[in-house]
Structure 1
């Protein structure tokens, strides 16, 4: 692989895993900055000169000339920069629109409702509030049921008959949600999703980036 760029972020960020998976699929070398320290590196003048809001993930091209923030934008740029761009992003307007629909769904319906429970439990950076947690869980389950409907009939992929950007984007928050929020009871309400995730993680490039699928029996609380 030819050097393509590096990402600044903390470990275990599913937004980074999505980009690394897309890089593998496209034969691009994208690496994590080994010296990055959250709350330290991203507050330095040098970092802020490149990324003014200090947000991660943040991407820098191999030659240092191009800087990009926002996880979805970084993932899309990497998806569009290699030989599998047409497959991943769609070869016609309708296919591209469907892929974009699911990419937005991943951020707005899955990622958004996962964020608060994760901050309460795994990161413990805000106090646990059961009412808010349960509301997020209900909203997430609603989104999961929508995904389940789209996967009826044994579908392996969300758009067409091959892996696209849509699947990688949806896999991101789900790979974390199954460790925290999506317990056995929630999986029963969306029976097609588990098989879908297992199928995606049989793809070597995705398994390398995301690791093994973890399924909890009971959701994590404080």
Structure 2
């Protein structure tokens, strides 16, 4: 089978995992291009196609260019409707979209904020314990909602893996590396059981790789 297009990304990036996992389950081939951050994406050829110089980035065999990992993954899934990655109906597809947006904006966004604060990516190396606490509490609220939903079903939308499950699993993998240590993860057994089902699926297990969860949540060093 000929590749459906070319992909630029890095294997550890959650958005790249969305796309590679969708292609693997859909039985589609991608031409994954060599990529060196700060070099490949700064080249005139890359910027002419993708002006924001972001990854992942996709160029289809027909010339279609896409950025944003979830959008690329959704396009890949749509090319193989028999994979049922977008569900079995229009309503299923809407629910898949709902959970993708939920995972990215109600869970991952807070992990990103906390990671950036802890790593001093904000101006003047700013860190605020009160802001950290507030952001974590917002993430907790979303995780509690998710935990409740997963208490009555194995997957988010249908009785098999959809793109929503892939996106959520990649988001939860990052969350377990940033904001949720062992004690925090124990509070969400259904969420992490879902992660194990998806990330452990033989079709995509190698794409997800080792969990590499932290024992305690990331925090500033005591001398900072």
1:52: Cα distance to partner? Answer: 1.7
1:42, 1:48 within 8 Å by CA — same for their partners in 2?
yes
Change (3 A) 1:135 1:209: same
Does structure 1 retain, via aligned residues, the 8 Å contact 2:11–2:17?
no
Structure 2 segments unaligned to the other structure (5+ residues): none
Per-residue CA distance 1:104-128 (angstroms, 9 max, x = gap): 101211221111223345x654436
- Secondary structure of 1:221's aligned partner: coil
- Deviation of 1:159 after TM superposition, in Å, equals 0.9
Is the contact made by 2:15 and 2:56 (CA closer than 8 Å) also made in structure 1? yes
Could you give the per-residue CA deviations for residues 168-210 of structure 1, whole angstroms, max 9, x where no partner exists? Answer: 1111211111112111232233221121111112211221211
Q: What's the TM-score, normalizing by structure 1? A: 0.88
Local SS of the residue matching 1:60: strand
| 1:133-212 correspondence runs (5 A) | 133-153=132-152, 155-212=153-210
- What TM-score do you get using the length of structure 2 for normalisation? 0.87
The range that moved more, 4-13 or 109-118, is 4-13
Partners of 2:162 and 2:126 in 1: CA distance: 36
Contact 1:198 1:213 in 2 (8 A): no
Residues 22-54 of structure 1: CA distance to partner in whole angstroms, max 9, x if unpaired?
A: 1101111224321x2222322222212101222
Is 1:104 aligned with 2:101? yes
Unpaired stretches in structure 1, ≥5 consecutive residues: none
Do the aligned partners of residues 80 and 137 (structure 1) sit closer, same or farther apart at CA in structure 2, a change above 3 Å counting?
A: same
Segment of structure 1 superposing worse, 123-132 or 98-107: 123-132
Q: Counterparts of 1:142 and 1:207 in 2: how far apart (Å)? A: 29
8 Å contact 1:18–1:209 — kept in the other structure?
no
**Across the two proteins, how many residue pairs are aligned to each other?**
217
CA contact (8 A) 1:60 1:67 kept: yes
Cα contact 1:8–1:57 (8 A) shared by 2: yes
Contact 2:5 2:59 in 1 (8 A): yes
Of 198-207 and 124-133, more deviation after overlay is shown by 124-133
Q: Does 1:7 align with 2:7?
A: yes
The answer to whether 1:115 aligns with 2:94 is no
Relative to structure 1, the CA distance from residue 93 to residue 188 in structure 2 (aligned partners, 3 Å threshold; closer, same or farther) is same
Cα RMSD (Å):
2.0
